[in-house]
Amino acid sequence: MPKITTVTINTKQAFEDIFALDRQYIGSSAYMGLAYFWNYDFRHYLRDASQHQRKLVHQQLLKANLSLNGSSAAHEQIISKVLKIKVS
């Protein structure tokens, strides 16, 4: 019989490591939707958004050649469309 090994995972440290990795992925297609990339103007909308919604916003901003941390009517339009809310 194979020997059974017990592994302990520190979930807080694991999350911090994944979050740090995702910060490195900002601006790339590998972005996972965890790290913050947005402008202060959009903090209330994107802070509460799901991981999937953040990824979609990130992808749409890149596709539109917009600065990820910028603030403009175009940014508002993309965030409004993805989150299905009015952004102003």
Residue 15: exposure state from Cβ atoms within 10 A (0-12, 13-18, ≥19): exposed
H or E element at residue 79: helix 73-83
Would residue 27 count as lying in a domain?
A: yes
60: containing domain: 11-83
Residue 6 has pLDDT above 70, yes or no: no
**Global pTM?**
0.85
Would residue 59 count as lying in a domain?
A: yes
Banded model confidence at residue 1, pLDDT cuts 50, 70, 90: low
Question: Poorest-confidence range of 2-6, 28-32, 40-44, 81-85?
Answer: 2-6
Would residue 5 count as lying in a domain?
A: no
Would residue 4 count as lying in a domain?
A: no
Would residue 88 count as lying in a domain?
A: no
Would residue 2 count as lying in a domain?
A: no
Rounded to whole angstroms, the Cα distance separating 22 from 69 reads: 16
Would residue 6 count as lying in a domain?
A: no
* Structural domains counted in the chain: 1
